[in-house]
Amino acid sequence: MNTKFNAPKGFGQILDHTFSLSKDRFKDFFMILLILMGPVYLLQAILQAVSGTSLIRDVGTGNGWFEQMLSSLEESQTIDTGTLGADIGIIVVGFAGFLLFPVAEAAILFAMQHIQKNEDYQVRTVIRKAFSRFWPMVGSNVLFGLIAIGIIIVPLILAGVMGGIIGTSVHPLFGILTGILVFLGLAVGVAYLLTRWSFYFASVVLEKDSPGFTRSWRLTKKRTWTLIGLYLIFYIIISTISFVVEMTFGLALGNSVLLSLIVNFITIITTLIFSVGYGVMYFDLKVRHDADDLKELIEDYNQMDDSIR
């Protein structure tokens, strides 16, 4: 067994293990993601080129260089849905990503499981294992997505209704403030629930427990707020990297195919970091939960032994 996986870790230790593991196994993890995510991004680039997007550099409208670069950057933030071909392309790329990206993340989880057990593995082997869990992953992802949409929409509706009622009966300003406070409170509840259920994916992949929501709920007991903090840290890191890269290259390249390829390359790297972080959090939860189960068994055994005596 790998000792780094066996002991429960604190907040900082999880982050440290994530980045050290990402660095040590970067080649394997990157190859997994490139094999499964690369074709989707390549298809996206081909569809962009076919639709008329400039390959290297697309300068926007304006009198000076700075205005042209800002205009091209604004265009790069929008999705071209003006033609039927562009719409079909977006649908095809989105559907392919929906099917293949979870497989890539599952393959990384299988690789991490081998690392935990100090076992050798090959990239093609873990990818094959990931495909063996394809349909349970798809079904669980769809179910989780529907649940997430439902519990996100409800707070928005409640915040709007309560804000509107108070704004009409008391004062518009009080209505706005009430709506904001209600929304923030419900948003915390949404974050709590989604975090408690978020490890369903690892349960489906590694433990063959579909849809995995009950298992995830048990694993995250007493660790929810720490996990929310970790998710927030990973989000900030990934968003910052993506924003800096897109802003830097977007000013020079505009809304071009080359910019999309660069951004997607960075997305593969940030996905690698998040996938490894997710796996580290899951294995940490599993160690803690299994240790708690063992303690309960020992206590039950001692109580039974005392009663016999």
Report the predicted TM-score, pTM, of the whole model to 2 decimal places: 0.84
Q: Residue 26 to residues 80, 130, 145: CA-CA distances in angstroms?
A: 34, 19, 29
- What span, in angstroms and rounded, lies between the C-alpha atoms of 203 and 193? 17
Please report, for the chain, the start and end positions of each structural domain, with discontinuous segments joined by +.
Answer: 3-308
For every residue of the chain, which 3-state class applies, written as one string?
A: CCHHHHCCCCHHHHHHHHHHHHHHCHHHHHHHHHHHHHHHHHHHHHHHHHCCCCCCCECCCCCCHHHHHHHHHHHHCCCCCCCHHHHHHHHHHHHHHHHHHHHHHHHHHHHHHHHHCCCCCCHHHHHHHHHHCHHHHHHHHHHHHHHHHHHHHHHHHHHHHHHHHHHHHCCHHHHHHHHHHHHHHHHHHHHHHHHHHCCHHHHHHHCCCCCCHHHHHHHCCCCHHHHHHHHHHHHHHHHHHHHHHHHHHHHHHECCHHHHHHHHHHHHHHHHHHHHHHHHHHHHHHHHHHHHHHHHHHHHHHHHHHHHC
Structure confidence by residue, pLDDT tens digits, 99-126:
999 999 999 999 999 999 899 999 999 9
Given a cut of 70, the residues of the chain with pLDDT beneath it are 1-2, 57-87, 89, 159-160, 162-164, 166-175, 179, 291-309
Per-residue pLDDT, 59: 56
Per-residue pLDDT, 230: 96
- What span, in angstroms and rounded, lies between the C-alpha atoms of 48 and 82? 13
Per-residue pLDDT, 70: 55
43: Cα separation from own chain's centroid: 22
Q: Can you state the angle between helices 26-50 and 123-132, rounded to 10 degrees?
A: 70
Tokens for 274? Answer: 């998040």
Per-residue pLDDT, 174: 66
Per-residue pLDDT, 184: 80
Per-residue pLDDT, 171: 61
